[in-house]
Structure formats: structure tokens, C-alpha cells
Structure 1
Amino acid sequence: MIEQIIENKLQEVKSLARCPYARTKPILKPDFSDKVNIIAELKSKSPSFGNFNTNVLSLIESYSKYAKAISVLTDSKYFGGSFEFLHEVSKKTNIAILCKDFIIDKKQIDWAAAAGADIVLLIARILDKNKLKELYDYTYELGLKALVEVHSFKDLEKISFEAEFLGVNSRDLDTLNIDKQTAKEILSHLSAPVKIAESGIRDKSDIEFFLPVANVFLIGEALLKSNNIEATFRELLCL
């Protein structure tokens, strides 16, 4: 799965033109100081679920009320997103935006910054050690933050710098299987200022499972499938 995604992304980056946007809003830094902090995800579809029959733009008001940041998928083929979509979201919220994509080139970071992102996802699994460092440094040169994502202890070996935001994805990008126990074990070994649990977080019990080792949770499916978004947020936030 991941090889197909990267092959498609390489072609996409080659055809990426100059970004037409000029950033008009200041770069925001998320406040992750609460016991439970949510990064709420917006996407039209996913390989693990299929299409979400939801008007995702209608969720922005609730996301902005309860979440500390909004994750916006900009990959088009597999997640139905775009930088144009990120730009639209940025105009409708006053909280930080995470650009979530398979970032392999500085051009993508330029687009993310111009479209309104405040944080950029960098996936260790798809980058070699030098490229990860190069893209991390470039992200911070632009004034943005980087969320460095790992899935295994092997991924951690690629990180040669002190990452401010470190996330552990419970989902294997090849098989799409979820392994929360391994993710929790990896999180317990991290010393980053901000530790983020990603994927497979469906309800309060999953939050409680990760709370000893993380206090930021990237949540998509549970919110996108919810029939009562505010009630779902209150449960997840233990309110």
C-alpha cells in the first residue's frame, strides 16, 4: 500500500506548480497544555474506511470549539483532500491547522505554508534519515512546526534531532492494521515535549489507554462517523 502511495506522490510532486496563495493569517502555535488535547481530522475518505458521507466543512465550527488543532488531509487520490481544501479550512477557523500528507519534497511544505497550515506532518517511515532532517529544518525555517510521525522503534532511529512534536501511529501504513499496544510502548520511550497518539482512538477507553504516555490525540474516524459531534467530543475529552 505505502509503495503505491509514494509512487503516486512522486508523480504528483513533479506536476506541482507554483502555489497561487499568499498567506494572510499569522502562524498559530497550538496549546497542548490540557490533560486531554485533540487534533481533529478532516478528510473525505480513507483507505481503511472508504468514503465518509459527511459534509466535512460543516464540522469546522465544532472542531474549532473543542479541538486544539485541525488535521487536514491534502492527499487527493487516497484521502480526497487538496491544498485548496486546506486553504478553505484555514479561512473558517482560528485554531492551528496540521497539513497531513505524504510529504517528500520542500514544494509541498511551501504549499502547506501558503495555504494556511501551521504544522506539517513528516512521516519517518517514508523518508531516509537525511531527508527527514532536511524537511524538518525547512519546516522550521518557514516558521511552521513539524509533527514527526513514527510507527516502529526502527523509525525512531531516523530521528537525529530533538523533535518538538512526536507522534506514534498505531496503524501500519502497509497492512492498515491497528496495534495500539506497540504504539503505547513506543510512546513510553519518547522524551519529546509533545507526544501524540494517532489512529484507532474511538472512545474514552482508548484515551484512557494512552493517557499515561500521551496527552495529545489525533482523531478522525470517530468524529467523522459521529451522529452527535459535540457529544462525541465531550466523551473523548472526559467532560
Structure 2
Amino acid sequence: MKMNILDKIIQRKAEEVSISKSKTSVQELKDSEFFERKTFSLKENIKSKIGIIAEFKRQSPSKGIINDKVSPLEVVSAYESFGASGISILTDKDFFGGNFEDILSVRNAINIPILRKDFMIDEYQFYEAKSIGADVVLLIAACLSPQQVQEFTELSHELGLEVLLEIHTEEELQHFNQKIDLVGINNRNLKDFKVDLQHSVNLKNQLPNDVLSVAESGIYNIEDFNFLKEKGFDGFLMGEYFMKHENPGKKFEEFLSI
């Protein structure tokens, strides 16, 4: 059977985690500078601010290089100054061109939550996330069982991390449990990269009313944003729209003034 891109990413991620475990123990991660820091709440920030989680992303499997010329600090500082509710930073190297340094280099400079955006498939990665200064982790339903989601959510909360569960299909609604902090609905299908906003709205309407919902990916203009906002989404994860411009922070500022 032919592997889709998600299968390839997960296979590579398992190899990566195995190598990391052999190099750095969980105890060493616990001894890191940021492990004991009090985390910021993305949930609270989405309720009290504009709801945009602005993303730093150099590249993606579907678009190739998006912007590899700007520094994380320059971009996320601008995002924060213009009112972002949180920052999303990709830490996957092989497929998204990210690394831990992208979070480490900005952690002390900003005072809003950072989402470690990666493919979380092993308990070890949650200790990693905490050790590099993340506040929130992404759990992608497409590569986890409902049982894993529950266990990883409990571990995240023990570590003081919030959880953003990402779903894309009706079947994946089964991954939701009451301990999840936020549910992200990916407008883009990770298996074939097609974008469908109405599909996301239909899924959102099947979630409990009190769950904070985040529209993810494929928000390409103010019309998309307003459509999703009108349909009741609380948060909006946006990266490519800003990152494909020479100055992502300025593009974010302009978007807010439209």
C-alpha cells in the first residue's frame, strides 16, 4: 500500500524520537532551564484577545519553502506586539524546516503562549516540549488512537501544558475527551492537502458548545477569516498567509487593519 505524506512523517518521527532518547534522558530534560517555568494559557488568551495563533513556519510538504529568510525572534516579537493570542512554532526538521532552537531563541523574549507544533507520538516528546519552553502541544487525531490522546492529555496536564487536539474527519470526533483544552479543526486534509472550510464548520457543529474551537490552515484572506468567525470559531491558526510575505509581522498588522 502506498504511503501518504502523513505516514512518511510519522515513520520518520519515530526514528527521530528514538535517536533523541539515546542522546538525552528524560532526567536531563527535567533539569533544563525552562522545565520548571510557569506556563501561559492559550485558552485564556484566546478568550481575551483576537484569537489568532500566529505561526512561524519556514516550509511545508505541500508548499515547499515558504520563507527561510526571516528570524523567529523578529517575526514572533512582531506577532506579539500586534496582539496575537499565541504563537505556533514548527519543530519538525525534515518536513517543515523547524528545530527546537526556534522556540528556545524566543522563549525569554515573549510573554504569550507558544504551541510546539509537531507530530507527537511518544511520551518523551512531551518532556521535550516542556524543556524547550512550550506552553501548549498539538495532538493530531489522524496519527493517534483515542486512548493515546487521553493518556497524552493527562501527561501534558501533569507537566503544566495545555492540549490542542487537531481533527479533520467525523470519525476523529471520537478522539475528543472532556480534558482536552482546545479543539483545532484542520481545514486542510493532511492526506491530500485539499482545503474545505464548510467541512470544518460541519465538524465544529458536532462538538460540545462549551469547547473552544480553533480553525487551522487554509485561511487565505479576510473573507475566509470572517466566514469562520461568523460560524463560531474562537481561534484561528494562521501561518502561511503571513509567512509567505517578506515581512510576516507587517503582514499580520495589515491583516488586522482590513
Which residue in the other structure is 2:115 paired with? 98
The answer to whether the aligner puts 1:208 opposite 2:226 as a matched pair is yes
Counterparts of 1:76 and 1:206, CA distance in 2: 29
Which aligned runs of 4 or more in structure 1 are off by greater than 3 angstroms? 227-232, 234-239
Q: Secondary structure at the match of 1:80?
A: coil
Residues 94 and 136 of structure 1: is their aligned pair in 2 closer, same or farther, counting only changes over 3 Å? same
In 2, are the aligned partners of 1:54 and 1:224 still within 8 Å (CA)?
no
What runs of 5+ residues in structure 1 fail to find an aligned partner? none
Partner of 1:59 in structure 2? Answer: 75
What residue is the counterpart of 2:10 in the other structure? 6
| Equivalent position amino acid for 1:209 in 2 | F
Partners of 2:153 and 2:179 within 8 A in 1: no
**1:41 aligned partner:** 55
Match runs of 1:8-157 below 5 Å: 8-16=12-20, 17-18=24-25, 19=29, 21-23=32-34, 25-30=37-42, 31-34=45-48, 36-51=50-65, 52-57=67-72, 58-65=74-81, 66-157=83-174
User: By how many angstroms is 1:174 displaced?
Assistant: 1.2
SS of corresponding position for 1:237 = helix
Q: Is the 8 A contact 1:112 1:120 kept in 2?
A: yes
- Aligned equivalents of 1:59, 1:92: Cα separation in 2: 12
Q: 3-state SS of the aligned residue for 1:33? A: helix
Normalized per residue, which structure has more helix?
Answer: 2
Secondary structure of 2:237's aligned partner: strand
Give aligned pairs, total: 239
Stretches of structure 2 lacking an aligned partner (at least 5 in a row): none
Alignment partner, residue 245 of structure 2: 226
Matched letter for residue 38 of structure 1? I
Shift of 1:41: 0.6
Give CA-to-partner distance per residue, 1:89-134, whole Å, 9 cap, x none: 2122111100000001111110111100000001111001111111
Per the alignment, residue 185 of structure 1 pairs with: 202
CA 1:9–1:228 in structure 2 vs 1: closer, same or farther (change >3 Å)?
A: closer
Instruction: Tell me by how many angstroms 1:202 deviates.
Output: 1.6
Q: TM-score w.r.t. structure 2 length?
A: 0.86
Deviation of the 1:36 alpha carbon: 3.6
Contact persistence 1:36–1:217 (CA under 8 A)? no
| Residue 212 of structure 2 is aligned to residue 194 of structure 1 | yes
TM-score (norm. length: structure 1): 0.93
Structure 1 vs Structure 2 CA RMSD: 1.9
